[in-house]
Amino acid sequence: MGSAPITSRERVIKALRFEHPDRPPRDLWTLPGIPMFHAEALAALQEAFPSDFTGPEFDYGPAERARGVPNQVGSYTDEWGCGWEVAETGVIGEVKHAPLDDWAALSSYQPPWEMLDGADFSRVNASCARTDKFVLVGASVARPFERMQFLRGSEKLYVDLAYGTREVLQLRDLVHAYFVRELELWARTDVDGIGFMDDWGAQQHLLIAPAMWRELFKPLYAEYCSIIHGAGKFVFMHSDGHIASIYPDLIEIGVDALNSQLFCMDIEALARDYKGKITFWGELDRQHLLPFGTPEDVKAGVRRVRKALDDGSGGVIAQCEWGLDVPEPNVRAVFEAWLEPLPAC
């Protein structure tokens, strides 16, 4: 009698632990415009290639400063009081009003504590128990560097970091305190994994000197990992751009799965140095291949990733982001290629 098929939750855990899952787990990300404008195609793709991940059921408390509707043409204000402008419906937009443009506002500024004070996590554990998928709290729960940029403005923040101003460290600690409390709330639930993020890479290098990153920001992520691992859960992180210089640091502090733009870096070098030490949580090239390639080009990209990183033992997740500029056949091609047999060694 054959053994029962493993569940999605078991498959993801096996991949994270390098325990030879039956196949790489699947994970589809969509920009807001995809369910808005391509709901039927999205439903068909999800039926053909079901995700091995899901999220919990929960509510944060009402945000006192939030105004307007995100992802629609126009302006909105987020829960931290940052003013966003959206030029195209279905995309996230850009911050154009930074509440701390003048450091004089810092002394009276507070994060949206009311969202955590009023959070309702009463449905989280039941929603985890109802599914056999891996329950992941999304990668944007904590994002200290990006939140600092939204609050201060990117240009001013980089100048502050270069000069080492006292206020920029105060801002970092204020933002970090909020995210620590948020992660501690999630750590007390039954979710399987918790994610955080910050986009640290430009096209060819880190956005700040690696030494500065290690001094000012690595300790924050180390504390996040400690909270998450202390609760017996897996750590997921996302960071765009060329971040090869901090891969060993992220491995050192305990990141279990890292979503990064592999095609901005040397995939084969990443495999040589870090394969078997961290799970590569995607991703496929969304700058060139996904929007502009053919389905066969896309499959060739997946095969390159698999040749470098996938030996069947785990450590890879078949993740793909579907943006508004990406044809549906190319997204389908991604998941088809991840189901192809591994090439013979």
Longest Cα pair distance anywhere in the chain, in angstroms? 71
Position 111 in a domain: yes
Domain enclosing residue 152, as ranges: 8-62+102-338
Tens digits of residue pLDDT in 270-327: 999 999 999 999 999 999 999 999 999 999 999 999 999 999 999 999 999 999 999 9
**Residue 197 belongs to a domain:** yes
In a domain, 172, yes or no: yes
Q: Which residues of 35-69 are buried (b: 16+ CB within 10 A; e: fewer)?
A: eeebeebbeebeeebebbbbebbbebeebeeeeee
Does residue 20 belong to any structural domain of this protein? yes
Three-class secondary structure of residue 322 per DSSP:
strand
Sole residue written with tokens 């210089």: 245
Q: What is the pLDDT of residue 138?
A: 84
Contacts of 3 (CB under 8 A, 6+ apart): none
pLDDT per residue as tens, the chain (345 positions): 456 789 999 999 999 999 999 999 999 999 999 999 999 999 999 999 999 999 999 999 999 999 999 999 999 999 999 999 999 999 899 999 999 999 999 999 999 999 999 999 999 999 999 999 999 998 668 999 999 999 999 999 999 999 999 999 999 999 999 999 999 999 999 999 999 999 999 999 999 999 999 999 999 999 999 999 999 999 999 999 999 999 999 999 999 999 999 999 999 999 999 999 999 999 999 999 999 999 999 999 999 999 999 999 999 999 999 999 999 999 999 999 999 998 765
Kindly state whether residue 318 falls inside one of the protein's structural domains.
yes
CATH number at residue 311: 3.20.20.210
Number of structural domains, the chain? 1
- Asked, for residue 183, whether it belongs to a domain, the answer is yes
Full DSSP string of 285-317: -TTTHHHHS-HHHHHHHHHHHHHHH-SSSS-EE
In a domain, 93, yes or no: no
| Residue 344 located in a structural domain | no
What pLDDT does residue 4 have? 76
pTM of the predicted protein model:
0.96
